[in-house]
């Protein structure tokens, strides 16, 4: 529970790196962290799979019943740009957090480090101002064609982290349309819900405001501003976007307060860094008349069981 009267200044990135270029993404993170530090932020949030990019419009040569070798090569390039948690990239991100004193919340493509090393996950990575990895969340349900790229997370990474200014948790993009996933996060006592996304539609804004009202929490949404210029022209699948407009994702990053009002209005059609001041006392105040998992719940009628066990296909004994 946060203390009454505590405020926190936060920053939200709306940008995209060069697709499949991890170095580009890491350099941009360092640059934005420096900007956020200079404006006295304590928390910095990046979009969905910022490292190393959301491959909007690419097919990876996949059709029902067939795949192409060219598409496999693009996937291998995506795999090469992924992040091991922990690994040398998280050490580098930890250095950025430590140098700037920021809590970093970053969308990354995570490479499985436990079994084959081949499966990728859409992951939120949490790093503390001391440079330590505080936790991660793997997207439970990739949407549509995303299922060709990313595996499914499990309940073991429904992560919430404690900070001096409140509890932070996150759900990625359309996970936020899963009522039971939201309920699980509310029950973990979140004060700030981060919602890294690739959805630039107007309907996404309605979602953010609804969730803020429902969870009586701050909702921070970070989206990309992505253009065709961020796509390497030597991708095998570059022709997939040849006929698309120059702007592939217009953004819409925003911050909403626990009564559903914008703290920072949506940013569209440009890259940018959104700054916002969060009055954390408002979280408690807003729950006076509605608390979805407290006095407004009906456990005699509705109950939710959440399986937080890590799921494994192989178990080695002795």
pLDDT in tens, 157-174: 999 999 999 999 999 999
DSSP 142: -
Q: Is the pLDDT of residue 68 over 70?
A: yes
User: Which neighbouring-strand residues pair with 12?
Assistant: 45, 274
pLDDT recorded at residue 116: 87
**What's the predicted TM-score (pTM) here?**
0.95
Q: What is the mean pLDDT of the chain?
A: 95
The CA distance from 15 to 252, in Å, is 11
Q: Please give the backbone phi and psi of residue 83, each rounded to the nearest 5 degrees, phi first.
A: -115, 135
DSSP-derived secondary structure for 221-273: E----EEGGGS-TT-TTGGGGTTS-SEEE-EEEEEE-TTS-EEEEEEESS-EE
Q: Is 109 exposed, middle or buried (0-12, 13-18, 19+ CB in 10 A)?
A: buried
Query: Confidence class of residue 100 from pLDDT cuts 50, 70 and 90?
Result: very high
Q: Are strands 103-111 and 272-279 parallel, antiparallel or unpaired?
A: unpaired
DSSP 275: E
Q: What percent of the chain has pLDDT over 70?
A: 98
Domains of the chain: 7-286 (3.60.110.10)
Q: Give strand ranges (E) for the chain.
A: 7-14, 43-45, 62-63, 66-67, 103-111, 120-127, 133-138, 160-163, 166-170, 192-194, 218-221, 226-227, 247-249, 251-256, 262-268, 272-279
pLDDT in tens, 231-247: 999 999 999 999 999 99
pLDDT in tens, 109-144: 999 988 888 999 999 999 999 999 999 999 999 999
pLDDT in tens, 149-159: 999 999 999 99
Interval 252-266 mean pLDDT: 98
The CA distance from 223 to 236, in Å, is 26
Catalytic residues: 48, 139, 173
Query: Confidence class of residue 277 from pLDDT cuts 50, 70 and 90?
Result: very high
Query: Confidence class of residue 318 from pLDDT cuts 50, 70 and 90?
Result: confident
* Strand order, beta sheet including 166-170: 160-163, 166-170, 192-194, 218-221, 251-256, 262-268
pLDDT recorded at residue 223: 98
């Amino acid at each position: 529970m946060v203390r009454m009267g505590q405020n926190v200044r936060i920053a939200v990135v709306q940008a995209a790196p060069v697709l499949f270029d991890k170095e580009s993404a890491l350099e941009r993170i360092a640059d934005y962290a420096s900007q956020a530090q200079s404006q006295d932020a304590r928390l910095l949030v990046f979009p969905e799979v910022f490292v190393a990019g959301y491959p909007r419009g690419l097919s990876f040569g996949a059709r029902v019943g067939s795949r192409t070798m060219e598409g496999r090569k693009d996937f291998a390039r995506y795999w090469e740009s992924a992040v091991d948690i922990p690994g040398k990239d998280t050490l580098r991100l930890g250095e950025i957090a430590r140098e700037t004193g920021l809590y970093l919340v970053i969308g990354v493509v995570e490479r499985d480090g436990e079994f084959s090393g081949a499966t990728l996950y859409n992951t939120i990575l949490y790093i503390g101002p001391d440079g330590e990895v505080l936790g991660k969340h793997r997207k439970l349900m990739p949407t549509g064609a995303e299922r060709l790229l990313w595996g499914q997370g499990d309940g073991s990474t429904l992560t919430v982290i404690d900070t001096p200014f409140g509890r932070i948790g996150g759900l990625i993009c359309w996970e936020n349309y899963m009522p039971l996933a939201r309920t699980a996060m509310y029950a973990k006592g979140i004060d700030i819900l981060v919602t890294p996304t690739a959805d630039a539609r107007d309907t996404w804004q309605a979602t953010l405001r609804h969730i803020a009202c429902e969870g009586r929490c701050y909702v921070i949404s970070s989206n990309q501003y992505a253009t065709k210029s961020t796509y390497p022209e030597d991708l095998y699948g570059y022709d997939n976007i040849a006929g698309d407009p120059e702007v592939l994702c217009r953004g819409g990053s925003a911050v909403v307060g626990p009564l559903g009002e914008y703290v920072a209005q949506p940013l569209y059609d440009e890259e940018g860094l959104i700054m916002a001041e969060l009055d954390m006392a408002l979280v408690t105040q807003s729950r006076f008349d509605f608390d979805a998992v407290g006095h407004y719940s009906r456990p005699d009628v509705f109950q939710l069981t959440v399986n937080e066990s890590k799921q494994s296909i192989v178990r080695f004994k002795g």
